[in-house]
C-alpha cells in the first residue's frame, strides 16, 4: 500500500499531464476557430457535441464516474466555445443569429421544464407565469433543465436566480455563463411556508419535520416552539411533502408551500409559518433562441471579470488619493463605513446573507427596475473590508505601521484560505445550528466595530462644532 506522499506525488504527475493535454486540446480548438473564420461555419455543433459526449461515456470503466466525466467534458467544450467565439468576434465574425424581437413570450404552444418535483416553488413559478395548462416536465438538477433547453427538449426553463433573504443562487449564475441560453422574462414568487401533514394529523404527536435546509431556517421562530421535533433536511420543500405522503406516518410533517399540499393531498396544519412575511424569490425564464420582448424594460447581461489579487491592498494604498480627489474627509468616511459595517453585521446577526426585502406592492417596481444587478462582489474584498483597509492605512502614520498593516492583511488572507480549504469539514462538524451561531457571533463583533468607526468619526466633527460655537 502506497503512503500518502507517494499517492499525492502520482496525483501531481497526472495533473501535470492533464494540464499539458488540455493546452494541446485548446490549441487544436484555436485551429478549429481559424477554420470556421475562413469557411463561415457556426461554432455550436450540437450533434457533434452530443456524439462526443456519448463516445466519451462509453470509455468510462467505472459507472460511478459517468456523471462526473460528462460534467468535466461539458465544461471543457463550453470553454472551447468561449474561446472560439472570442476569436471570431476579434475577426469581425460573430456567426450568431441576430436577436428576434417578439411582442410577448409564447405561453401556450410551448413545453416548459423546471427543477424539482410538482409543488416546488419552481413549479409554482412556472404555473403562475405560463398558466395551469402549459405542457411541462421536471428534472432533478438546474443543469438538467439548462441541458433540456439547449437540446430542444423544452422551449423554456424556469430557474431561481435570487432570494430576498438567502441571496443569489450562484449555481444558476454559473450555468448561465456556461450555456448559450438566454433570459427572456422573469417571475417573482412570494415564499409562504406552511406546515403540512396527513389528514387528521395531531400536532401534539408530531415527532419529525422535513424540509429544505433554507425552509427550516426560514421557519426558525415557529420551530423554536417545537424543540422536541426532529428536523430532517430534504432536497427541496415539495419533496418533503411527497415524503410525508409516501411514509403515511401521522407523526411526520413537512414545511412546504400550500400548493404542495394540494398536489400531494396533504392537510395544511398551519398557514404562513415563515419568520419573514416578505420573502420573495426571483425566477428567470430561459430559452435557447435569441429573442427579446419588444416592450421589455430590463436587460440581463452575463459576463465575467478577472479575479485579481491585491485589490484590497490597491484600495488601501489609494484611499488618501480618492479622499483628496472627491473632497472626502476621513471622519465622514468613518461614519459612512460605520453604517456599512453595521448593516453587514446586523444581517449576520439575523443569520441571513442579504437584506433585500420586497413588499407585495414593491415587486412590480423591482421587476421593472433597469439598473444593473451584479452577480456578486468579491467575498474577501467587499465594501466593509475596503472601508476598514482605507481607515487603518490612514491611521498608520509611519512606514513601520503601514508594513505591519500589510502583514496583518496577508496573515488574515492566509488564515481565511486555510478556513476555506477546510470549510466542508468545518460545516459538517458545526452543523447548521453551529454555523448560524458562528454567523451571529461574527455579526455581533462587526456591529461593535461599526459603532467604534462611527464614534471615532463623529467625535472630531462634534468637537469642531462645539469649538466653533464658542468662537
The catalytic residues are: 281, 283
Work out the angle at residue 46's Cα, subtended by the Cα atoms of residues 44 and 51, and round it to the nearest 5 degrees: 130
**49 and 179 in contact (C-beta within 8 Å)?**
no
DSSP for residue 243: H
State how far the Cα of 396 lies from the Cα of 44, in Å rounded to an integer.
55
SS3 141: coil
| Residue matched to cell numbers 409516501 | 246
Q: What is the DSSP string of 149-163?
A: HHTTS-SEEEEEEEE
128: nearest Cα among 237, 239, 283, 241: 283
| Secondary structure percentages of the chain, helix, strand, coil, to 5 | 55, 15, 30
Residue 384 CB neighbours (<10 A): 19
Counts for the chain of helices (H) and strands (E), in that order: 16, 13
State how far the Cα of 271 lies from the Cα of 57, in Å rounded to an integer.
48
| Residue matched to cell numbers 410577448 | 104
State how far the Cα of 12 lies from the Cα of 6, in Å rounded to an integer.
10
Which cell is 139 given?
428534472
DSSP for residue 205: G
Residue 312 burial by Cβ neighbours in a 10 Å radius (0-12, 13-18, 19+): buried
Q: Residue 229 contacts by C-beta under 8 Å, 6 or more apart in sequence? A: 206, 207, 208, 209, 223
Beta bridge partners of 282: 162, 188
**73 and 53 in contact (C-beta within 8 Å)?**
yes
Which cell is 71 given?
460534467
Q: At what angle do helices 170-178 and 142-150 cross, to 10 degrees?
A: 20
State how far the Cα of 228 lies from the Cα of 208, in Å rounded to an integer.
9
Alpha-carbon dihedral sign for residues 204, 259, 217, 369: negative
236: nearest Cα among 337, 117, 321: 117
CA dihedral of residues 368, 371, 372, 376 (deg, nearest 10)? -80
Which cell is 119 given?
409543488
Residue 267 CB neighbours (<10 A): 14
Amino acid at each position: 500500500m502506497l503512503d500518502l506522499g507517494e499517492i499525492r506525488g502520482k496525483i501531481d504527475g497526472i495533473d501535470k499531464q492533464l494540464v499539458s493535454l488540455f493546452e494541446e486540446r485548446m490549441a487544436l480548438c484555436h485551429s478549429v476557430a481559424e477554420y470556421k473564420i475562413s469557411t463561415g461555419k457556426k461554432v455550436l455543433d450540437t450533434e457533434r457535441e452530443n456524439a462526443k459526449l456519448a463516445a466519451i461515456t462509453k470509455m468510462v470503466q467505472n459507472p460511478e464516474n459517468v456523471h462526473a466525466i460528462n460534467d468535466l467534458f461539458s465544461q471543457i467544450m463550453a470553454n472551447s466555445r468561449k474561446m472560439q467565439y472570442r476569436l471570431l468576434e476579434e475577426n469581425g465574425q460573430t456567426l450568431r443569429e441576430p436577436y428576434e424581437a417578439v411582442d410577448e413570450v409564447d405561453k401556450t404552444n410551448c413545453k416548459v421544464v423546471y427543477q424539482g418535483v410538482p409543488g416546488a416553488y419552481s413549479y409554482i413559478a412556472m404555473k403562475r407565469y405560463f398558466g395551469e395548462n402549459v405542457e411541462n416536465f421536471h428534472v432533478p438538477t438546474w443543469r438538467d433543465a439548462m441541458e433540456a433547453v439547449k437540446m430542444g427538449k423544452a422551449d423554456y426553463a424556469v430557474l431561481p436566480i435570487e432570494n430576498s433573504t438567502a441571496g443569489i443562487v450562484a449555481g444558476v449564475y454559473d450555468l448561465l455563463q456556461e450555456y448559450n441560453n438566454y433570459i427572456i422574462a422573469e417571475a417573482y414568487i412570494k415564499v409562504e411556508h406552511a406546515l403540512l401533514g396527513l389528514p387528521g394529523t395531531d400536532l401534539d404527536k408530531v415527532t419529525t419535520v422535513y424540509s429544505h435546509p433554507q425552509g427550516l431556517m426560514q421557519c426558525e421562530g415557529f420551530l423554536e416552539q417545537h424543540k422536541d421535533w426532529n428536523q430532517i433536511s430534504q432536497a427541496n420543500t415539495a419533496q418533503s411533502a411527497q415524503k410525508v405522503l409516501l411514509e403515511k406516518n401521522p407523526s411526520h410533517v413537512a414545511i412546504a408551500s400550500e400548493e404542495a399540499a394540494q398536489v400531494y393531498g396533504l392537510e395544511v396544519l398551519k398557514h404562513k409559518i415563515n419568520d419573514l412575511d416578505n420573502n420573495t424569490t426571483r425566477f428567470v425564464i430561459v430559452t435557447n433562441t435569441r429573442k427579446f420582448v419588444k416592450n421589455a424594460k430590463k436587460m440581463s447581461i452575463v459576463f465575467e471579470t478577472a479575479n485579481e489579487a491585491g485589490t484590497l491592498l490597491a484600495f488601501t494604498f489609494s484611499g488618501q488619493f480618492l479622499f483628496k480627489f472627491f473632497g472626502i474627509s476621513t471622519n465622514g468616511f468613518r461614519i459612512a463605513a460605520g453604517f456599512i459595517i453595521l448593516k453587514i453585521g446586523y444581517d449576520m446577526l439575523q443569520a441571513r446573507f442579504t437584506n433585500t426585502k420586497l413588499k407585495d406592492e414593491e415587486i412590480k417596481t423591482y421587476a421593472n427596475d433597469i439598473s444593473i444587478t451584479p452577480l456578486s462582489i468579491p467575498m474577501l474584498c467587499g465594501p466593509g473590508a475596503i472601508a476598514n483597509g482605507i481607515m487603518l492605512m490612514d491611521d498608520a502614520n509611519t512606514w513601520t505601521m503601514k508594513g505591519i498593516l500589510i502583514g496583518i492583511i496577508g496573515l488574515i488572507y492566509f488564515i481565511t484560505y486555510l478556513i476555506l480549504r477546510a470549510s466542508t469539514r468545518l460545516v459538517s462538524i458545526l452543523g447548521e445550528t453551529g454555523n448560524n451561531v458562528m454567523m451571529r457571533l461574527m455579526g455581533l463583533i462587526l456591529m461593535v466595530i461599526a459603532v467604534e468607526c462611527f464614534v471615532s468619526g463623529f467625535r472630531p466633527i462634534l468637537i469642531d462644532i462645539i469649538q466653533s460655537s464658542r468662537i
